[in-house]
Amino acid sequence: MIDSDTALERCQDLVDLARSMGADEADAAARASSSESVSVRLGALEEVERSESEEISLRVFVGRRSASINTSDFAHESLKTLAQRAVEMARLAPEDPYGGLAPADALFSGELRDLELVDAGEPSPVELRETALACEDAARAVEGVTNSNGGGASYSRTTFALATSQGFARGHSGGSHTLSASVVAGEGGDKQTDYAYRTQRHRSDLPDPADIGREAGERAVRKVSPGSLPSGKMPVVFDPRVGSGVLGHLLGAMTATAIARKASFLIDREDESLFDSALRIMEDPHRPRGLRSRNYDGEGVGATPRALVEDGRITGWLTNVASAAQLDLALTGHASRGGGGSPGVGVSNVIMEAGSHSLAELIADIEDGLFVTDLFGQGVNLVTGDYSRGASGLRIRNGELAEPVAEITVAGTLPEMFRALVPANDLELVRGVDVPTFRIDGMSIAGQ
């Protein structure tokens, strides 16, 4: 796999080639990745996999017309052909009044922060196998587990480089380690499956493999023989594993691209108290070892820590160059790049700050309610804010977590849900977008 310096050289070469062939502006992004994973099932080795990939993409502008193209061939002649084709394509493209590159005065400059994204140690296939076995063994040892979908351990490395004709040229590397286990509990028609996993930048930050396995086993066992709930309105408590998705709906609606398309329920709600005034949602792209940490975004604009929700109100829209131009807004450092094409909008490390109550205190006064551990379906409309998802989890009876329940629908509207949201004090930074357990009263339940 190429290193970040080599990737950056190729990006700069490609930008220079595009300019020499008639492009007014250009940027190039290179990505390379390698990964190794081992999976086991029922105590036996099932699969060992290693993969590597390299890709470079070019975006060119001829006046207000643009085109994007990408390749996995890094040879000079191939890059020359790529640049020529991209410029020819751009000349035939329709004009885009909002497209362009980030201006020089908005680009990240200065020294890169050491975000500790690379772990110098690389586990061997033998170590990955032993770790995967330890995860699965612990899961299978939980009383009530009857079968296994397997255990896994993996390690990956990534390289990214970006060069623009406006003068930006930077590259960086990252890595991650992952542990996982998935098992089955129960017999016959009562069978249930669940999983647990954890990803960290550094291997030393991972929990003990046995902890991951036990979590998977315990989650599966507590789902066996689920019942239902009566239909009506009741308090609903969201496990952090699914609660982060609820926060994700807010983040998606805060993107300037959604606002520009008039595809967000947050339009005209900029000054509205969406949450309790004590609740804060923060973004920190500079968190050491964070899963989404970065110094700059996908267009070279510096990424900075900020409050996304303060005093219960959103603090503004999240922009890239195109959406900022369309809405006449400043750049916020939220451009994200995929495999090619124009950049989108994405966040870095986001947290909903913890509240003051433990989980036990949060549910103590709930006579009948639902603790959601799994959500299903795509019933969320970010244009209207309507929310309806299939759910399973545990019934809350007289302030205690009780029997499992399934085949339930939870519904509401996102603005009403946010206003009623009360966070617990159990926040853990494990996902990139993290929330504590939280409670929302008055949600509609469709059960038996």
How far from chain centre, in Å, is Cα 268? 27
Domains located in the chain, CATH noted: 4-220 (3.30.2290.10), 225-245+354-446 (no CATH)
Q: List phi, psi (to 5°) of 134.
A: -65, -40
Question: Which tens digit of pLDDT belongs to each residue from 90-126?
Answer: 999 999 999 999 999 999 998 999 999 999 888 999 9
Give CA–CA dist 412/417, Å, rounded. 7
Question: Which tens digit of pLDDT belongs to each residue from 143-181?
Answer: 999 999 999 999 999 999 999 999 999 999 999 999 999
Give CA–CA dist 399/336, Å, rounded. 43
Q: Looking at residue 121, what is its pLDDT?
A: 84
Residues 347-351 have a mean pLDDT of: 98
Q: Are 409 and 446 in contact (CB under 8 A)?
A: yes
Percent of the chain surpassing pLDDT 70: 100
Percent of the chain surpassing pLDDT 90: 94
The strand pair at 169-185 and 350-352 is best described as: unpaired
Question: Residue 59's closest CA among 337, 281, 426?
Answer: 337
Give the model's confidence band at 190: pLDDT under 50 very low, under 70 low, under 90 confident, else very high: confident
* C-beta neighbour count of 298 within 10 angstroms: 24
pLDDT at 189 exceeding the cut of 90: no
pLDDT at 188 exceeding the cut of 90: no
Q: Looking at residue 89, what is its pLDDT?
A: 97
Q: Which helix (H) or strand (E) holds 374?
A: strand 368-376
Which residue reads 């612990």 in tokens? 138
3-state secondary structure of 369: strand
Helix segments in 261-347, DSSP class H: 321-327
Q: Which helix (H) or strand (E) holds 134?
A: helix 125-140
* C-beta neighbour count of 247 within 10 angstroms: 24
Residue 143 has which token pair? Answer: 């009383």
Residues 324-339 have a mean pLDDT of: 94
Q: Are 349 and 287 in contact (CB under 8 A)?
A: yes
DSSP 312: T
Q: Looking at residue 372, what is its pLDDT?
A: 98
Residues ≥6 apart with Cβ < 8 Å to 272: 313, 415
Give the model's confidence band at 378: pLDDT under 50 very low, under 70 low, under 90 confident, else very high: confident
Q: Looking at residue 447, what is its pLDDT?
A: 87
